[in-house]
Structure formats: structure tokens, C-alpha cells
């Protein structure tokens, strides 16, 4: 490209290493010289550098710089265009730095020391959260249960039964006391015009249970004892008196209970009853009309309320 009217003049022998002539808003001469010094890794001497450069910037449709560099190898003119003045300043600094020190293009910039770490105040330990209240499932509950069923062994034949029980339950155990009534059953002599005895049983019982469970289903395994009154009323006999006998027994039991909510359960239970002594009723001149069995069973459907 032919030189323009702004072609730089020949640098004098004692001229500074770089003369930068650019209108605003281009970077000033001090900024460009600082960039050259950063690239060669040392400050530029006021005079006596082996390279002298003059750069004149023209702001046209596309900014350009007319650059003349004099070194030991001679004088070289360049016209360089760029998108803006900042790019022209960077290119000029690189050309001048390489002319002064050809290794400048390969020199790594000096690392900027990392700022010293600021002391950090020790964090206060978090305040421990209050211990949660124990789950309600682990608390003691009271209970009331009613059972309706059938029993065999204490009375003649199979008798309806009704039981009412109260107690205390823990997650894996329970202790209960209650009363149970076996409704009246008849024993008759076939050869004595309907003579016989009506027998009923009322007992008080106590038992303890171990209660394994799976989710809401419980399987109580219980053992206990009962004591009560076995009552017999003579019927159509020469002497129709009433007689009460002491009745006592041990028992083992199991149950299947489903508790859909904390306050309610229902299910079934079964109990094996073994009397400590067998009791019997007899009519004058007719002999024994009823004797309790060596063992008996009770099966019931149960409903249970729990509180609180």
C-alpha cells in the first residue's frame, strides 16, 4: 500500500524506543509502552535502545496505524489495519517487543501472586435439636376388651360365653384381669322323668401375655389362671336344692388381633383350660349327673378399646 501523508518520520538516533501518536479514544503512549515492557520483561530505557519505532494512528472507516521500525538490520515500514484502536495498540506493542527481543512472543507472563488467605472465624457448633418425644407406639396403654364365644368342658355340652377384660399393654407385653360367664346348660337323666341339674359357671381370671407383632397384626401368647363358682340347680328331683362348687383352673391362650388404629383392635382368641380339680353334681338315689371334663376350650371373637 502506498504511504499516506501521515507516514512516520525517520526516528532520530537518540529517540525513545517507541513514539506513539494516536488521537482519542485510542490508548495513550504510556499504555502502549507499558505493554511493550510487559512483553520483553523489563522497563524500556529512555534512550539507547537498539530499536526505535514511530507509530501514527489514523481513524478512518477502518482504523489503521503507520508503523516505522529502525533496527540494526535497517528500516521497515508497515501499514496495519484493525477493528479498533485497542487492537492496533496491541499489535504495535507486539511488533516493537519482538524487534527488541525476538523471544518476547514466547515469554510467559509473570504469575500474579495469589492473595493471602483471610483468616476465617471458627464456626460456632450448631445448637443440638431437642430430643424428639418417644413415638406413641412405645407408650403404655390401658385396654378394655369384650369377647363373645363358646366354651366346652366345664358345663354339659357347648355353652355360650361372655367375657369382659381390662388391662395394661406395652409394645410387646400385656397384663389383664377379667370376668367370664358360661351360660346355663342342662344335664338330665333320661330314665328319671326329666330329673337333672342346670349348670352355669362364673369366674375371675388373670393372665399375662407376650405380644409379637407384624405391622398392625398382633399375636398374643398368654398364660394365666381363673377361679370361680360352678353352680348347679336341681330339677325335677326329690330334693331340688342349689349347690355351688369352687372351680379353679390354669389356662394358656393365643389370639390374632388386628389394630387398624391406635385406639381399637379386633380379632379372635382361643384358650385351653385345665381345671386343678374335677367337680361333679349328683342327685339323691340317681347318682352323678355331671362331672367337669379334664380339660376344656374357649373360642371367642373380641373387640378391644385402647387408651389413651
Residues 194 and 145 in one domain: yes
Q: Which of 106, 122, 154 is the last residue of a domain?
A: 106
Considering its fold, how many domains does the chain have in total?
2
For residue 66, what are the domain limits? 18-106
pLDDT at 73 (0 to 100): 80
Residues 248 and 193 in one domain: yes
130: CB partners within 8 A, 6+ apart: none
Residues 247 and 98 in one domain: no
Q: Write the CATH number for 45.
A: 3.30.160
pLDDT at 213 (0 to 100): 94
Q: Is residue 286 part of a domain?
A: yes
Residues 64 and 169 in one domain: no
List average pLDDT for each run of 10 residues in the chain, which is 308 residues long: 53 73 88 88 80 85 86 85 87 86 63 57 72 64 96 95 96 95 91 83 96 95 96 77 90 96 95 95 82 96 95
Say what the pTM is.
0.56
pLDDT at 98 (0 to 100): 86
pLDDT at 255 (0 to 100): 96
Residues 233 and 187 in one domain: yes
Q: Write the CATH number for 161.
A: 2.40.160.20
Residues 251 and 154 in one domain: yes
Q: Is residue 234 part of a domain?
A: yes
* Rg of the Cα atoms in the chain: 57
Residues 286 and 201 in one domain: yes
Q: Which of 106, 122, 155 is the last residue of a domain?
A: 106
Q: Is residue 122 part of a domain?
A: no
Name the helix (H) or strand (E) containing 101.
Answer: none
138/279 Cα distance (integer angstroms): 44
Residues 169 and 298 in one domain: yes
Name the helix (H) or strand (E) containing 173.
Answer: strand 173-188
Amino acid at each position: 500500500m502506498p504511504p499516506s501523508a501521515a507516514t512516520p518520520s525517520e526516528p532520530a538516533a537518540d529517540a525513545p524506543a517507541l513514539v506513539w501518536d494516536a488521537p482519542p479514544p485510542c490508548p495513550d503512549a504510556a499504555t502502549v509502552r507499558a505493554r511493550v515492557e510487559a512483553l520483553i520483561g523489563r522497563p524500556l530505557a529512555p534512550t539507547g535502545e537498539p530499536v526505535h519505532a514511530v507509530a501514527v494512528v489514523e481513524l478512518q472507516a477502518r482504523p489503521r496505524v503507520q508503523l516505522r521500525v529502525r533496527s540494526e538490520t535497517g528500516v521497515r515500514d508497515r501499514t496495519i489495519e484493525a477493528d479498533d484502536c485497542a487492537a492496533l495498540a496491541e499489535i504495535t506493542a507486539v511488533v516493537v517487543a519482538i524487534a527488541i527481543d525476538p523471544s518476547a512472543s514466547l515469554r510467559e507472563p509473570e504469575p500474579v501472586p495469589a492473595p493471602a488467605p483471610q483468616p476465617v472465624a471458627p464456626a460456632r457448633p450448631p445448637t443440638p435439636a431437642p430430643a424428639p418425644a418417644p413415638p406413641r407406639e412405645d407408650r403404655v396403654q390401658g385396654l378394655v376388651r369384650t369377647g363373645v364365644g363358646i366354651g366346652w368342658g366345664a358345663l354339659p355340652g357347648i355353652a355360650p360365653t361372655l367375657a369382659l377384660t381390662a388391662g395394661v399393654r406395652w409394645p410387646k407385653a400385656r397384663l389383664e384381669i377379667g370376668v367370664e360367664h358360661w351360660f346355663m346348660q342342662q344335664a338330665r337323666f333320661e330314665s328319671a322323668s326329666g330329673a337333672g341339674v342346670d349348670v352355669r359357671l362364673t369366674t375371675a381370671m388373670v393372665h399375662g401375655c407376650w405380644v409379637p407383632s407384624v405391622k398392625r397384626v398382633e399375636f398374643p401368647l398368654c398364660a394365666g389362671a381363673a377361679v370361680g363358682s360352678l353352680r348347679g340347680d336341681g330339677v325335677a328331683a326329690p330334693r331340688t336344692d342349689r349347690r355351688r362348687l369352687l372351680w379353679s383352673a390354669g389356662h394358656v391362650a393365643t389370639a390374632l388381633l388386628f389394630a387398624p388404629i391406635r385406639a381399637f383392635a379386633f380379632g379372635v382368641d382361643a384358650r385351653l383350660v385345665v381345671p386343678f380339680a374335677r367337680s361333679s353334681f349328683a342327685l339323691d338315689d340317681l347318682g352323678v349327673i355331671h362331672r367337669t371334663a379334664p380339660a376344656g376350650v374357649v373360642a371367642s371373637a373380641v373387640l378391644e378399646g385402647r387408651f389413651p
